[in-house]
Structure 1
Amino acid sequence: MSTTRPKSPILYFAYGANMNGGQISSRCRTKPRVVAVAKLPGYGIAFFGHSERWDGGEETALARAEESLWGVVYELSHSAFDHLDAWQGAKLDGSGPYFHSPAEAIGEDGTTYAVLLYRKDILGEARAPSTEYLEHIVSGAEEHGLPAAYVRKLRSITSEKAGYPVPRADDADRILGAALSCAC
């Protein structure tokens, strides 16, 4: 007789827009459990490329020896993480715009968490985020009570007002919205 052990949940470290509770819940199709507010020593947030949705640079975690990247550790089921992968464009063959990066996050109480985070595969040109996108990120940071000094640091990032109304729906909204709402 064989027994199947349930898969253990995935600990996901959100440091950008996915800190926003409404966004992460929508993309995972469930409200993930918040495990901790934590930091990744030796990383910082940076913006590259261009997001059509937000008309500005997209965030990634970049190695920076003297910095710490703060964020939220969420507990996700494998199904929820698959949905999030689809939204992020993370693919097993590595061809998507983001890839999984394992790391150790340190909670405010000193607990260490083995986490996965998304990092941009191809950075492209450094580009400021739109003011609206940066505010969306800051809103998520405040929602989860990230340290005030870090929130001030986020607010100090140079941004530019979007040139059109944002967030703009894109193909991902139409395709994933239809596919993920399927009861099949």
Structure 2
Amino acid sequence: MLCFAYGSNMSTQRLAARIPARFMTTAMLPAYRLAFHQRGGDSSGKCDIVPASSQSAVYGVVWEVAPHHKPTLDGYEGLGVAYDETWLTVTDLAGEGQFEVQAYVGKITSTGMHPYTWYKHHVLNGAREHGLPSAYVRALERIAAHHDPDTERHAREMALHGFNELLVRGA
């Protein structure tokens, strides 16, 4: 099955820590916008896709996920509790056409949410790693983020990208 990742699961390291998946392509979801308004279990903002004007688009990564790994991914995403799933049509950035993909859409949204810095790092790392448009990456860089008070979680999440906590803290 093809899954469209537009948030932290764009990062190969982040997704590989959860399930094995095969990179297929980068893609654009037209007439949607990205929002960090999904309330995570840690009370921080997580990514969601929201219908928007025809001039808007969300960029992301299409992964092939084996059917027997999908329930594990559903568990990480809180399917049925935090997110629902939907099927969408995305356009391949490499010009290969369109794909029907599964995506998660937020159920528990709130205004004024902000991601933790480590979560934003997963999103940015995935966007840069997969060569998403530079203007889109710059927009992601401008998203306000807060430092996670759970320093162990922060260190664990940053370690997925090879960052040492001392380097992250600037010590």
- What TM-score do you get using the length of structure 1 for normalisation? 0.76
Q: 1:139 to 1:127 in 2, by over 3 A?
A: same
Count of residue correspondences: 153
- The residue correspondences of 1:146-157 to structure 2 (distance < 5 A) are 146-157=132-143
Question: Aligned-pair distance for 1:47?
Answer: 1.4
**2:2–2:62: 8 Å Cα contact kept in structure 1?**
yes
Q: Deviation digits for residues 146-175 of structure 1, max 9, x if unmatched? A: 111111111112223333424388xxxxxx
Match of 1:36 in 2: 25
Q: Deviation digits for residues 23-54 of structure 1, max 9, x if unmatched? A: 212212x2x1111100100111111254355x
Identity of aligned residues (%): 29
Are positions 1:25 and 2:16 aligned together? yes
Counterpart AA for 1:18: N
- The residue correspondences of 1:126-145 to structure 2 (distance < 5 A) are 126-145=112-131
- The residue correspondences of 1:32-111 to structure 2 (distance < 5 A) are 32-53=21-42, 56-65=44-53, 66-90=55-79, 94=80, 96-108=81-93, 109=95, 111=97
SS at match of 1:117: strand
**1:19–1:140: 8 Å Cα contact kept in structure 2?**
yes
Are positions 1:119 and 2:108 aligned together? no
Give the number of the structure whose alpha-carbon radius of gyration is greater.
1
Aligned mates of 1:18, 1:151 — CA distance in 2: 15
